[in-house]
Amino acid sequence: MKNEIIKEILKKCDISYSNLTKSKSGFTNNVYFIDNCYVIKFSNNEIIKEKLEKEITIYKNLNLSYIPKYITSGNYNDYKYLIITKINGKNLYSIWHTLSEKERTNIIIEIAKTVKSFHQINGDFLTGYNAVSFRKYIKSELSEIIEKLQKLNLNVECLQDILNKSFDKLFCDIKIGLVYNDIHFDNFIYDGEKLYLIDFDRTIISSLDYDMMIFKTMCENPSKFANEEDEDNIIDTEYEKIYQIFKENYKELFANKFTDDRIFIYQFIYLINQAFKCNNKKWIKQELQKFNLYFIKS
C-alpha cells in the first residue's frame, strides 16, 4: 500500500527511479529512500502532517551546506509529502565507537560550529516564543510539576524556592533565536569528511540554550536517543568528554553565568515529565533528588 502511494507521488512529481527502500529510522514519518538520490517523507496522520509541514517550511527557507536540499513537497489525496536529497553517510551513533579520539574531537568541534551557525539564522519564517512567552512557558511547566509532586506527597520546597525566589534572576538574560531542538547523534550524518544535520520537525524559536536540553541528556545517557540497531555500539565512556568539548567551542552560548542552571532546569522538566508519563515513582523521586542536590550545592 505505501509503495503504491509513493509511486503515485513520484509519478505526480515526474521523478523516475529504480528502487524504493524503507528507512530504518524516522520515528514520526514514513520515510523511504528513492534509489540513492532522494528521501521521501509522507503521512496521512494529522499530528505528523503538522510536523511535516513545519519541516517543509524550514527546507523551503534554508539553503545550507550542511543540510539536505529541498526538492519538492505537496499533497496527494490525504497524504502530505516532502522530497529532499539523500545524504550518503552514517549516523554518528553507528560509527562513534570506530573513530579515534582525534576524529571524535574534530566532529564535536564541527557540531559546535553547525549549532552556532543554525542559531545565527533569522527564523522569522517560523512562529515561536519571545523572551516573555518562553519564561512564561518554563514557569508554567515548573508549576505543573510542583502540583503533580504535591499529589504524590513529595517535598517540593527547593523547587518552589527556585520558582518563587530565583527564577527571574536565572532567566533574565535569555537570547531568543532559531533552535534545532533535537541535537543527538541519530540526527547527524557523517560521510567521512563532512557532517550533515537532518530532521527538522522539532525546530522552534526559543531561548538558544534550550538546544542543550537533548544534547546534554544524550551525553549523560548515550543510548537514550539511539535506534535499537545502534544500541550495542554505544560505550558510555566514549561520550563523557563530548559536552565539555562542545562548550569550549561555543563559548558564546555559555557566556551567561546562569546558562548551566537553565539547562539543568530544562533537563529536569524534560526527564521528570517522561517519568510522570511512565508513572514511574522511583524515577520521579530520582529526578527530584537530583534537582534538590544541584541547587543546594549551587
| pLDDT value, residue 3 | 85
| 87: DSSP letter | P
CA distance 204 to 221: 24
What does pTM read for this prediction? 0.94
Nearest Cα residue to 55 out of 206, 180, 181, 201: 201
Q: What stretch of H or E contains 73? A: strand 70-76
Q: Can you give the pLDDT at residue 298? A: 58
CA dihedral 101, 182, 134, 204 (to 10 degrees): 130
Which residue, chain included where needed, has cell 551525553?
A: 219
Would you state the cell numbers that stand for residue 123, as one nine-digit string? Answer: 527564523
The domain segmentation of the chain, as residue ranges, is 2-85, 90-297
Q: What is the pLDDT of residues 66-119, one digit of tens each?
A: 999 999 999 999 999 999 999 999 999 999 999 999 999 999 999 999 999 999
Determine the 3-state secondary structure of 179 from DSSP.
Answer: strand
What's the CA gap between 32 and 203, in Å, rounded?
22
What mean pLDDT is predicted for residues 224-228? 92
Distance of alpha carbon 160 from alpha carbon 154, whole angstroms: 12
pLDDT at 83: 98
Question: What is the overall mean pLDDT for the chain?
Answer: 95
Which tens digits make up the pLDDT trace of 231-269? Answer: 999 999 999 999 999 999 999 999 999 999 999 999 999
User: Which class in CATH covers the domain with range 90-297?
Assistant: alpha beta
Long-range contacts of 132-138 (CB under 8 A, 24+ apart): 134/174, 134/176, 134/206, 134/207, 134/210, 135/167, 135/171, 135/174, 138/167, 138/171, 138/265, 138/266, 138/269
Reported CATH class of domain 2-85? alpha beta
Banded model confidence at residue 26, pLDDT cuts 50, 70, 90: low
User: 195 exposed, middle or buried (CB, 10 Å; 0-12, 13-18, 19+)?
Assistant: buried
Under 8 Å between Cβ of 224 and 218: yes
| Residue type at position 296 | I
Beta strands at 90-91 and 79-85: parallel, antiparallel or unpaired:
unpaired
* 20 pLDDT more than 80: yes
